[in-house]
Amino acid sequence: MAEFEDGKEDGALRTIGEVSEALNIKPHVLRYWEQQFSLLKPLKRSGGRRYYRPDDVELVESINRLVNDEGYTLKGAEAVLRSSGKSGMDRRGGDRRTGDRRANADSAPAQNTAIAPDKSPKLGETLAKLKAIRARLGQAIEA
């Protein structure tokens, strides 16, 4: 959780400036993420001033980790947050196994990913094609 050094209680509302400083994320990025992530909705008071609740701050930390540390696209990060309930609020629960990650030729398959080959007769064929594409992309990147 973010460390705030402003003397406010842990459950206090935070301004966009306070969140920006504590998490080292520029305010314009936070505003952009509000547009891109429907789960991120800080309180807005008169004049459009934003106030982030503790759950909002936790969600921003999760978005930052997924996008900047784990390499998710914005859409993929939102899918993971929606499906995992990691948005800071239980009403957004689900399954963490979905999400769009950036391709990485030498990365291992995502953990906890279950594929049931008996559900689709063409699944094996599709997986083989995808593996071939991944191999070609890996070779192109190395060249």
73 burial via Cβ count (<10 Å: 0-12, 13-18, 19+) = middle
Q: What per-residue confidence (pLDDT) applies to 82?
A: 87
- Do 64 and 131 have their domain in common? no
**What confidence tier does 41 reach under pLDDT thresholds 50, 70, 90?**
very high
d(CA 111, CA 84): 14
The reported pTM is 0.57
Rounded to an integer, what is the distance from CA 49 to the centroid of its chain? 24
- Do 87 and 126 have their domain in common? no
Q: What per-residue confidence (pLDDT) applies to 92?
A: 35
What is the rounded average pLDDT of the residues 126-139?
81
Q: Across the beta sheet with 14-15, what order do the strands follow?
A: 14-15, 50-52, 43-44
Number of domains in the chain: 2
Tokens of 117: 């080959």
3-state secondary structure 110-136: CCCCCCCHHHCCCHHHHHHHHHHHHHH
- Do 60 and 128 have their domain in common? no
H helix or E strand, kind and range, residue 85: none
- Do 119 and 93 have their domain in common? no
d(CA 133, CA 110): 17
Q: Which domain holds residue 11?
A: 1-102
pLDDT at 118 over 70: no
What is the per-residue pLDDT across 63-107, written as a single tens digit (0 to 9) for each? Answer: 999 999 998 999 999 999 988 775 444 333 333 334 444 444 344
Tokens of 62: 């999760």
